[in-house]
Structure 1
């Protein structure tokens, strides 16, 4: 990576917002965002390991501190899932746990300054590295469309192909308005995963830009450095609330959508 002194504020921000990519297939059939894939996989493995460490020696007696903490977190998510979802599937709580804690871990990478990753990686020839996976719309769309396919699965499991097709074509205006019902239902079903993805992406991407702006503008002078440190600390305190809140909203909306997909209209 070019030295920070050689970059203008605009080029510095653009540099840190660019993904490390790799082309797949002949003629660049598909482009992978390597940093997003690696970071999201690493955070998934990390939270799995942390929960495994907290439960591998679980005891019915007095739990250890980490076991107690893990149990509190899991019970919180389980309670939210049970209160929101009114169907009979036992998959909802595992889905909620996976979504909330995986997104939370990916969001928490925002607390680590971008140069903490970029500078060491530049020593081994890796020019770009965008560390926060949820600031990449490809990652948030991937998760939201996974929820979309789960919605289809829950709907088909509950209503069957015939019941789902009939409802899709006749609700909410009746069979004589079938074309309008079809258009309305297509828009409704597609808007759910898209809005789910864009909400998470917009908050994380916007926060990333503000962090970078504070860092760049604060480095102009000693006074600016002190001011940037204060503003950066304040923005980080604010994000202590935003980061878990965005994970919670994504999880709760996903559960609501799964519950609605089983309801009859």
Structure 2
């Protein structure tokens, strides 16, 4: 903010991209990201649990139809991409898809509404889209990575998993160091790509919303144009937030399916 109290574009952008944090260094906690991500996860569980309790074999209501469509869509995606037998995969895929979609959906709330309400309550910063926080996307990706390692060892055994890392792609003892480097990079790249893809797309989308809001708030003469741009970008962004949730879900299924393959 400028010395005379005038709102500057730089301060406006930085303010909207700064998390409400406590702690320092490695132990910094982003309270807003944790609050919204956990809250949306609880909302997902409550909504789907309430539908399951009230489900009927008769004519279903609109909400039950919607939930059944999502479940059938995820179930068909799992059947097409996962070639092993594991009762965890379908519920995991459903959780990943819906949870990430809800976190992404927060991006459609006008950028000034909740931060301004938080300011009125004495809270300086409030970032409401958890998937624009690299800590959240990396934690999701690391959860998938842990499952990949777990099932790789469970299905193939420690020896089989070690051979996979050391005898591929060149099946010769002299190439073990090269194979280990290549396979380790490939393995580590999975969670990194998962986290960065989701974060990058959502962060860029949030930044565009902020820039559009900054433009028409700074110049009332183009306010109508700014609202039109916001609406247009929001409609397009519905596709983006859905696609990013779907990609994360599909890669999760594929990675865990690869972990079940015993060569």
Q: TM-score with structure 1 length normalisation?
A: 0.94
State the partner residue of 2:38.
41
State the partner residue of 1:105.
102
Distance 2:93 2:45 in 1: 14
- Deviations along 1:103-154, whole A, 9 cap, x unmatched? 0000000011222111111122211011000001110011011100110111
Runs of 4+ in 1 over 6 A off after TM superposition: none
Number of matched pairs = 260
Is this contact kept in 2: 1:104–1:247, CA < 8 A? Answer: yes
Distance 2:219 2:187 in 1: 51
Aligned equivalent of 2:91, options 91, 94, 101: 94
Q: Summarize the alignment of residues 42-57 of structure 1 with structure 2, pairs less than 5 Å apart.
A: 42-57=39-54
| Helix, strand or coil at the partner of 1:7 | coil
Distance 1:156 1:232 in 2: 48
Q: Summarize the alignment of residues 1-265 of structure 1 with structure 2, pairs less than 5 Å apart.
A: 6-23=6-23, 30-174=27-171, 175-265=173-263
| Helix, strand or coil at the partner of 1:253 | helix
- 1:61 CA displacement: 2.3
Distance 2:174 2:86 in 1: 34
- 1:220 CA displacement: 2.7
Is this contact kept in 2: 1:114–1:130, CA < 8 A? Answer: no
Moved more, 53-62 or 6-15: 53-62
Distance 2:10 2:122 in 1: 22
Unaligned ranges ≥5, structure 1: none
- 1:249 CA displacement: 0.5
Is this contact kept in 2: 1:85–1:259, CA < 8 A? Answer: yes
Distance 1:127 1:221 in 2: 24
Unaligned ranges ≥5, structure 2: none
- Deviations along 1:82-105, whole A, 9 cap, x unmatched? 110001111110110010000000
Is this contact kept in 2: 1:107–1:243, CA < 8 A? Answer: yes
Q: Cα RMSD over matched residues?
A: 1.6
- 1:209 CA displacement: 0.6
Q: TM-score with structure 2 length normalisation?
A: 0.95
Distance 1:176 1:107 in 2: 47
Is this contact kept in 1: 2:155–2:262, CA < 8 A? Answer: no
Distance 1:219 1:70 in 2: 39
> Relative to structure 1, is the Cα distance of residues 215 and 73 closer, same or farther in structure 2, using a 3 angstrom cutoff?
same
Distance 2:198 2:181 in 1: 26
